């Protein structure tokens, strides 16, 4: 199904050359933001934030304002018709007639894809549940390009909540497409990287290992990507408390790291990086958040200037088959067409909204 508009739901929907162009444009904007001050004159961006956000929402808004455009939207669905039970389909349909581009964050996996099916303008995924966060990945790629001067041949440690952290899912999918990257996943057995992401890494020709402690990995890393334990995605408070405080990066652990390792974090930080680390010149997370504005300026410009639409649903409907993931949008909004990608013999299906697999 081809949409008239170019959406960004998952970076993997585009070739690496497209990401590279965006990163290059982001770097140019960083050098001379003034030159881009009228790129979006007269355009309106709507931000539909069904889930809390500081950086993603404000950096998108700043990006549009710095390009000369204007912004509308909500960041508290309780103040919109969502609280009256309006579906994503109807909200998207309406708002996409008010705006030229729509940015959506939602607590349920696949929500941005669902929005793109009914929008009359481009849709950008600003985070869908524990699933994906492609614009954070663009920010991370831009940060690596500027601060490490490469996107390949890196040993990247990812630490913390790897099962629920959408930022690390998107970043693994992207970085495994570049040559010679190696991943070290540092987590408890309960919070390990999902199998489907590990399969993508292997299929892309990159390698990974899994360890339990920061100490055994930190000395090998070029990049340490810390993440927050995602309290809101746990079934119970007890399960969250059992994981909290497992990994804390402090000055003592930083002594074990290479002199040129950089520390990234999508933020917000809770207690996984002590404040003393902020003064270490390898701590790059605040700079990373600043680069997020340039990455999003590059993205908004590129999407709005594109004449080509992008594919929305590519999979097939299998009669009576539905996704088993309770956190998939197709189990929250019944009208959505179920759509699955099939493995070789069509017994393994992958939900096109949330990537959950099932055997039939
Ligand atoms: C992250 C997110 O919302 O996924 N933050 C962000 O977008 N900068 C990470 C998080 O919430 O832990």
pLDDT over 80 (residue 148) = yes
Sheet-wide strand order for 357-359: 340-342, 348-351, 357-359
* Ligand 1 atom with the shortest distance to the CA of 292: 8
133 lines ligand 1 (CB under 6 A): yes
For 200-214, give one letter per residue: b (16+ CB within 10 A) or e. Answer: bbeebebebeeeeeb
| Residue owning tokens 């790129």 | 39
How far apart CA 148 and CA 225 sit, in angstroms, is: 14
Query: Nearest residue CA, atom 12 of ligand 1?
Result: 228
Among 51, 52, 135, 136, the mutation site with the greatest number of ligand 1 atoms within 8 A of its Cβ is 136
* Cβ of 139 below 6 Å from ligand 1: no
Distance 271 CA to ligand 1 centre (A): 15
Atom of ligand 1 minimally distant from the CA of 161: 12
What pTM does this model have?
0.96
Query: For residue 305, how far is its CA from the centre of ligand 1 (angstroms)?
Result: 28
pLDDT digits (tens, 9 = 90+) for 179-217: 999 999 999 999 999 999 999 999 999 999 999 999 999
Q: How confident is the model at residue 310 (pLDDT cuts 50, 70, 90)?
A: confident
Tell how strand 348-351 and strand 357-359 pair up: antiparallel
Three-state SS string over 68-84 comes to: CCEEEEECCHHHCHHHH
pLDDT > 70 fraction of the chain, expressed in percent and rounded? 99
Q: pLDDT tens digit string along 320-347? A: 999 999 999 999 999 999 999 997 677 8
Mean pLDDT of the chain: 96
State whether the beta carbon of 166 lies less than 6 angstroms from ligand 1: yes
Is the peptide bond preceding residue 268 cis, with omega within 30 degrees of 0?
A: yes
Neighbours of 348 (CB within 10 A): 14
Residue 360 CA to residue 357 CA, distance in Å, equals 10
Cβ of residue 288 lying under 6 Å from some atom of ligand 1: no
């Amino acid at each position: 199904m081809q949409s008239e508009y170019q959406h960004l739901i998952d970076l993997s929907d585009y070739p690496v050359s497209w990401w590279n162009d965006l990163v290059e444009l982001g770097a140019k904007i960083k050098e001379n933001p003034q030159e881009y001050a009228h790129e979006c004159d007269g355009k309106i961006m709507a931000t539909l934030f069904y889930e809390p956000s500081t950086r993603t929402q404000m950096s998108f808004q700043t990006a549009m304002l710095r390009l000369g455009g204007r912004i509308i939207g909500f960041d508290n669905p309780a103040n919109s018709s969502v609280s009256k039970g309006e579906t994503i389909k109807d909200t998207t349909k309406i708002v996409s007639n008010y705006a030229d581009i729509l940015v959506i964050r939602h607590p349920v996996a696949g929500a941005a894809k669902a929005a793109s099916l009914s929008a009359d303008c481009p849709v950008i995924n600003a985070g869908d549940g524990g699933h994906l966060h492609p614009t954070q990945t663009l920010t991370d790629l831009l940060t690596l390009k500027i601060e490490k001067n490469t996107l390949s041949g890196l040993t990247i440690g990812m630490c913390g909540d790897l099962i629920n952290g959408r930022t690390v899912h998107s970043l693994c999918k992207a970085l495994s497409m570049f040559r010679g990257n190696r991943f070290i996943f540092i987590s408890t057995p309960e919070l390990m990287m999902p199998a489907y992401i590990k399969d993508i890494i292997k299929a892309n020709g990159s390698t990974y290992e899994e360890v339990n402690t920061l100490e055994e990995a930190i000395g090998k890393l070029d990049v340490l990507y810390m993440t927050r334990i995602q309290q809101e995605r746990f079934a119970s408070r007890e399960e969250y408390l059992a994981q909290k405080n497992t990994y804390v990066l402090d000055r003592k652990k930083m002594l074990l790291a290479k002199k040129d390792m950089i520390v990234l974090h999508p933020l917000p930080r809770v207690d996984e990086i002590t404040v003393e680390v902020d003064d270490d010149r390898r701590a790059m997370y605040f700079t990373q958040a600043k680069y997020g504005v340039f990455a999003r300026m590059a993205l908004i410009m590129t999407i709005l200037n594109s004449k080509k639409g992008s594919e929305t649903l590519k999979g097939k409907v299998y009669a009576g088959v539905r996704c088993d993931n309770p956190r998939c949008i197709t189990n929250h909004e019944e009208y959505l067409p179920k759509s699955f990608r099939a493995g070789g013999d069509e017994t393994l299906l992958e939900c096109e909204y949330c990537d959950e697999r099932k055997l039939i």
